[in-house]
Amino acid sequence: MRNEKTKTGGRTILTYGTFDLFHVGHVRLLRRLADLGDRLIVACSTDEFNTLKGKRTAIPYAHRVEVLEACQYVDMVIPETCWEQKPKDIATYGVDLFAMGDDWEGKFDDLRQHCDVLYLPRTENISTTKLKELIQTMHLIVPDAGQKMTG
C-alpha cells in the first residue's frame, strides 16, 4: 500500500472489479487510478456476488483481496456485494472520482450526481477472459476440488 500519509484527505478514487487472475492490465489500471488522486479504494467482487452475476472465478475472494492489498497502488480494499452499493460507498468514503475500464463506458453515468465518473482504456491484448482461454488451450485447467486428477 502507498505511504500512510495518503490515506486521509486529498482526492479519493474508487473502482470496482473482480480482479481474478491478477495480471498486468490490472496493475496498469490501478497505477493510472492511483496517479489521479491521493487515496485509491478498490471494491473487489465477492464470490457470492460473482455467482449472482453468473461469473465463476479461478481465485477465491480472500486471495484476490490479499493480492490487491499487496499492490503498492491500493490504499484500501472493500467488498463488492451488490450492484446497488455504489452510491452508498461514494458517500461513505468521500469519493471524488469513480473510475472503471472503458468496457463499462456509459454504464455508471448516473453516479455523476455523486462524484466525477471516468472510464479508462483497457490494456490491449490482456484480460482475465483471454488468460482463461489461453490456460484452457494449454490444458492446464486445475480440476474442481471434487474431481480426481489423472495423468
Q: Which of 110, 55, 107 has the alpha carbon at shortest distance from 44?
A: 55
User: How many angstroms separate the CA atoms of 62 and 142, rounded?
Assistant: 19
DSSP 18-32: --TT--HHHHHHHHH
Judge whether 132 counts as a catalytic residue: no
Catalytic residue (one of 7, 55, 86, 107): 55
Grid cell, residue 106, equals: 456509459
Catalytic residue (one of 5, 7, 53, 148): 53
Our CA dihedral for 93, 99, 105, 111, rounded to 10 degrees, sits at 20
Judge whether 55 counts as a catalytic residue: yes
User: Catalytic residue numbers?
Assistant: 53, 55
